Amino acid sequence: MGKGTPSMGKRSNGKAHVPCRRCGRSAYNVAKGACASCGYGKTARMRSYSWAKQH
Ligand SMILES: [Zn+2]
């Protein structure tokens, strides 16, 4: 199996995200070392986008 598109459907093993220590959501990506929700590990400020709902 390569790393192309065909292999993307078999990525259910292990856990990509663990609970984030800053936002508490299970969005901290272990491999990337950054939270997908608040940006912890990637930016000192909270990750926020205008197109994202605040609530
Ligand atoms: Zn976070």
pLDDT digits (tens, 9 = 90+) for 17-41: 999 999 999 999 999 999 999 999 9
Tell me how far the alpha carbon of residue 40 lies from the centroid of ligand 1, in angstroms. 5
- Which pLDDT score, from 0 to 100, does residue 28 have? 97
> Residue 28: beta bridge partners?
18, 35
Residue 24 domain-assigned (yes or no):
yes
**53 burial via Cβ count (<10 Å: 0-12, 13-18, 19+):** exposed
Residue 22 domain-assigned (yes or no):
yes
State the DSSP H helix or E strand holding residue 17, giving kind and residue range, or none if neither: strand 17-18
Indicate which CATH number applies to the domain containing 24: 2.20.25.30
Task: Report how many domains make up the chain.
Answer: 1
Tell me how far the alpha carbon of residue 39 lies from the centroid of ligand 1, in angstroms. 6
Tell me how far the alpha carbon of residue 1 lies from the centroid of ligand 1, in angstroms. 32
% of the chain surpassing 70 pLDDT? 89
Residue 52 domain-assigned (yes or no):
no
Containing domain of residue 42, as a range? Answer: 15-46
Residue 34 domain-assigned (yes or no):
yes
Residue 10 domain-assigned (yes or no):
no
Residue 32 domain-assigned (yes or no):
yes
